[in-house]
Amino acid sequence: MDYFRKMEEFIVSDELWPSFRNPAFIEELERVASEVYSKSTIEGYLSSILIFQQIVEEMLWVLLKDCQAMIKISLMGQAEINFSDQKNVMFGRLVDELKNTIDFEHKSRFIQECNKLNSIRISVVHGLSRKTELSQLGKLASDAKCQFDKIRSLYAGAHKYFCDYFEHERENIIAEHRANEME
């Protein structure tokens, strides 16, 4: 019964729903990434690529938590399920975990775009000591920014889908409690 109460509390309290762990800092990181990217310098390009990838890693974490929450809610009253803590999991593992959970609209495209961004980051980080010219790095940073913009848009739609689902379930629970009070 304790598990059921925790799930009800989760559904009713939107501040418990999955979200960025530090939203103000994520917003600041995004601002910094855009700012340093626009400087067209080596450090600006490198920083922006790494920051974009880290923000996307946080998006992956949130969507994975969204999926896990939806599964828990769907099983409510029938079974208890717990998921392992994903706090310190790296990008590739988060992608794999998200691949292996429930589907949502544009999930495969979201994952594909995340993998493209990660490939850009890997090529930059592991190829940095080779003869890389500023223009080449600028092109990769531009590609990373483009990927980030696509991913952010896909993330917003996916996260909204889950929040709408949680909202619908909240309305059901509130209606159920009101009906029980009237009896």
**Each residue of 80-98: pLDDT tens digit?**
898 887 678 899 999 999 9
- Minimal CA–CA distance to 158: which of 118, 113, 122? 113
Residues contacting 118, CB < 8 A, separation 6+: 53, 91, 92, 95
**Regions of the chain with pLDDT less than 50:** none
For residue 138 the two structure tokens come to 């600028």
Distance of alpha carbon 58 from alpha carbon 50, whole angstroms: 13
pLDDT of amino acid 93: 94
What pLDDT does 85 receive? 78
In this predicted structure, what is the pLDDT of residue 78?
87
What pLDDT score does 165 carry? 96
Q: How far is Cα 177 from Cα 5, in angstroms, rounded to an integer?
A: 13
The answer to whether the beta carbons of residues 76 and 32 sit under 8 Å apart is no
pLDDT at 5: 84
Q: Give the CA distances from residue 120 to residues 36, 45, 72, 138, 146, in Å, rounded to whole numbers and listed in that order.
A: 17, 12, 35, 12, 11
Residue 108's pLDDT is 98
Q: What confidence score (pLDDT) does residue 132 get?
A: 72
Helix ranges restricted to H, the chain: 2-12, 23-37, 42-75, 91-99, 107-127, 134-182
- pLDDT on residue 131: 63
Q: Which distant-in-sequence residues (6+ apart) come within 8 Å of 76 by Cβ? A: 4, 7
* Separation of alpha carbons 51 and 64, rounded Å: 20
Mean pLDDT (the chain, rounded): 92
d(CA 60, CA 130): 31
